[in-house]
Chains A and B, each alone.
Chain A
Amino acid sequence: MSGLVRGAAAIVGAAESDLGHVADGLNPIDLMAQGIARALADCGLALRDVDGLFCATTQARTSGLSLAEYLGISPAYIDTTILGGASFEFHVAHAAAALQQGLCTVAVVAYGSTQRSVGRRQASVREVNPYETPFRPFLPSTAYALAAARHMHQFGTTREQLAAVAVAARQWALLNPAAWEKQPLSVADVLAARMVSYPFTVRDICLVTDGGGAIVMTLADRARNLKKPPVYVLGCGSAITHANISSMPDLTVTGALEAGRQAYAAAGLGPAEIDVLELYDAFTINTILFLEDLGFCPKGEGGRFVAGGRIAPGGALPVNTNGGGLSYCHPGMYGLFLLIEAVRQLRGECGARQVANAATAMAHGNGGVLSSQATVILGTAATV
């Protein structure tokens, strides 16, 4: 996304819908609409202002149609790119481009899922792959477990180091009133939990919740006149390396390497200048892989890097400050929540989990089985 002008677009509104286990009968479009209403209220814009619509869900084949009809709008610009959980980081880059080109003036990015209420099998229909299905991979867990096994083999990463990621996420979640998990978690708890696909127990794996939300984006000049301080889009990057795990070139190197490179170049920043990280933690190995590929530690060192509370509250590097997909919320495609938390951290709205003086934040989305990677670097007015 080298054509994007640094700081030209901003996120001006952000909100979650109801989370966790939502009321019976609510559907994903209800949750998108609820998120949009709250995100518009957050910035003081109205539904009639919205002329750019970006959304994705696994539960509606043509969610752009459903959502536009529900909202009663006919947007000038619609993008329903769906590339797994990272879809919303792709949407931010696409929305920034559309705003910059004048294709729309107020863009909304929305998500909704009721996978906990209706069941995961119902919410996300599995596609048959004749080259993988006979071996009964429990997807996505089996695929990520293969990557974790490879990382352990090549770099000596341990199950205890993987568990440290889950423990840090839980500690952050305990500071977030909106988080699903409310009880402390230890490394021993993670290791002793029910095995799903070695080396992962159920505590190495993200939650299964309902949830949704929305963010609102405008160009910078309009953003400055709205209710809250704008959060500027400083840089975006993305990469796709495969769809199925058997086609991933190297299970220990993700497309985050390339996505991060693009985003850093656009933002004119490096890893040392990022104050808050929101990394898509569908599995404990994700956080380790992304810390490496995004340059926060050398390749292979991620396991040792996260041990000892470095990414937990009070540690040197704040990562997944809302509690992450592991302990806060994971309705199937978690990417939008990375952006919401990054925005709130940069506005200083995070209460007990607030990172002091946060001026820059990274939201890094992951989709499929480490398949799609998209990075968004955000900053306050002082960084533009």
Chain B
Amino acid sequence: MPETQSPLAIYQAHLDRGELAYQWSPAAGRAVFYPRILCPFTGSTVLEWRVASGLGTVYATTVTHPAQGEPYNVALIDCDEGFRLMSRVEDIDPMAVRIGMRVRCRILRPGGPEPSYPVFTPVEGGR
């Protein structure tokens, strides 16, 4: 087994198990995302893997209109553990997604060569 595993591969393996994972930097005392080899706040290479609760808040949202096909949501989500990621909010009209909306993660498994990835849905009565 090689000495260093790919941070992306570990992240992806968590997703395949239905988990949204992130790194925790003990030196910085804060979350690190996207996963990497060193902590960008301290330079420390000690990073722990943690599984997120999956709860978060919409930080920014847009609806992108492709040349062909239906418009779709693209959003930045602030997860409760203190990291931000790009995703989309599903199960709701893309234009109805609001900044500040509480959302919950769901792992999508498209199958085939496309890797699993995290999307979000509105939390019932979560505002």
Interface residues of A in 116-152 (CB under 8 A from B): 130-132, 134-138, 141-142, 145-150
Q: Residue A150 contacts which of B8, B59, B64, B95 (CB distance < 8 angstroms)?
A: B59
Query: Which residues does chain B contribute within 8 Å of A195, judged by CB atoms?
Result: 63, 65, 71
**B61 and A149: CB pair below 8 A?**
yes
**B88 and A135: CB pair below 8 A?**
yes
| A137 to B62 CA separation, bound complex (whole angstroms) | 10
**A137 and B60: CB pair below 8 A?**
no
Asked whether any CB of chain B lies closer than 8 Å to the CB of A96, the reply is no
The SS class assigned to the B binding surface is strand
Asked whether any CB of chain B lies closer than 8 Å to the CB of A246, the reply is yes
Interface residues as binary, B2-18 with A (CB distance below 8 Å gives 1, 0 otherwise) = 00000010001000000
**B74 and A137: CB pair below 8 A?**
yes
Asked whether any CB of chain B lies closer than 8 Å to the CB of A103, the reply is no
- Taking each of B65, B66, B114, which has the highest tally of chain A beta carbons within 10 Å of its own beta carbon? B65
Q: Residue A135 contacts which of B8, B86, B100 (CB distance < 8 angstroms)?
A: B86
What distance in Å separates the Cβ of B117 from its nearest Cβ neighbour in chain A?
A: 4
Q: Which chain B residue has the least Cβ–Cβ distance from A200?
A: B62
**A134 and B60: CB pair below 8 A?**
no
**A130 and B115: CB pair below 8 A?**
yes
**B65 and A196: CB pair below 8 A?**
yes
Are A245 and B86 CB-contacts (below 8 A) given A131-B34, A150-B99, A198-B95? yes
Are A131 and B62 CB-contacts (below 8 A) given A142-B74, A146-B76, A150-B99? no
Query: Which residues does chain A contribute within 8 Å of B34, judged by CB atoms?
Result: 131, 246-247
Are A246 and B85 CB-contacts (below 8 A) given A141-B64, A146-B62, A196-B64? yes
Q: Residue B63 contacts which of A153, A198, A244, A247 (CB distance < 8 angstroms)?
A: A198
Asked whether any CB of chain B lies closer than 8 Å to the CB of A158, the reply is no
Are A145 and B115 CB-contacts (below 8 A) given A131-B85, A153-B99, A246-B84? no
> For the side of the interface on A, what is the size category?
20 to 34
What distance in Å separates the Cβ of B15 from its nearest Cβ neighbour in chain A?
A: 10
Asked whether any CB of chain A lies closer than 8 Å to the CB of B49, the reply is no
Interface residues of B in 39-77 (CB under 8 A from A): 59-66, 71-72, 74-76
| A136 to B117 CA separation, bound complex (whole angstroms) | 12
Interface residues as binary, A72-108 with B (CB distance below 8 Å gives 1, 0 otherwise) = 0000000000000000000000000000000000000
| A15 to B66 CA separation, bound complex (whole angstroms) | 37
Q: Which chain A residue has the least Cβ–Cβ distance from B12?
A: A130
Are A246 and B86 CB-contacts (below 8 A) given A138-B66, A146-B62, A197-B64? yes
Asked whether any CB of chain A lies closer than 8 Å to the CB of B87, the reply is yes
Query: Which residues does chain A contribute within 8 Å of B71, judged by CB atoms?
Result: 195
**A198 and B62: CB pair below 8 A?**
yes
Q: Which chain B residue has the least Cβ–Cβ distance from A131?
A: B34
Interface contact tally, CB-CB below 8 A: 78
- Taking each of B60, B76, B100, B114, which has the highest tally of chain A beta carbons within 10 Å of its own beta carbon? B60
**A251 and B60: CB pair below 8 A?**
yes
Q: Residue B99 contacts which of A130, A149, A194, A244 (CB distance < 8 angstroms)?
A: A149
**A149 and B62: CB pair below 8 A?**
yes
Q: Which chain B residue has the least Cβ–Cβ distance from A146?
A: B60
**B76 and A245: CB pair below 8 A?**
yes
| A145 to B71 CA separation, bound complex (whole angstroms) | 14
| A3 to B55 CA separation, bound complex (whole angstroms) | 48
What distance in Å separates the Cβ of B78 from its nearest Cβ neighbour in chain A?
A: 11
Query: Which residues does chain B contribute within 8 Å of A141, judged by CB atoms?
Result: 64
| A138 to B59 CA separation, bound complex (whole angstroms) | 18
Interface residues as binary, A20-56 with B (CB distance below 8 Å gives 1, 0 otherwise) = 0000000000000000000000000000000000000
Query: Which residues does chain B contribute within 8 Å of A247, judged by CB atoms?
Result: 34, 84
**A132 and B86: CB pair below 8 A?**
yes
**A147 and B60: CB pair below 8 A?**
yes
Interface residues as binary, A195-211 with B (CB distance below 8 Å gives 1, 0 otherwise) = 11111000000000000
Interface residues of B in 100-124 (CB under 8 A from A): 100, 114-115, 117
A-B contact pairs, 22 of them (CB 8 A): A130-B115, A131-B34, A131-B85, A131-B86, A134-B117, A135-B88, A137-B74, A137-B86, A141-B64, A142-B64, A146-B62, A149-B60, A149-B99, A195-B63, A195-B71, A196-B64, A197-B65, A197-B74, A198-B63, A245-B76, A246-B84, A251-B59
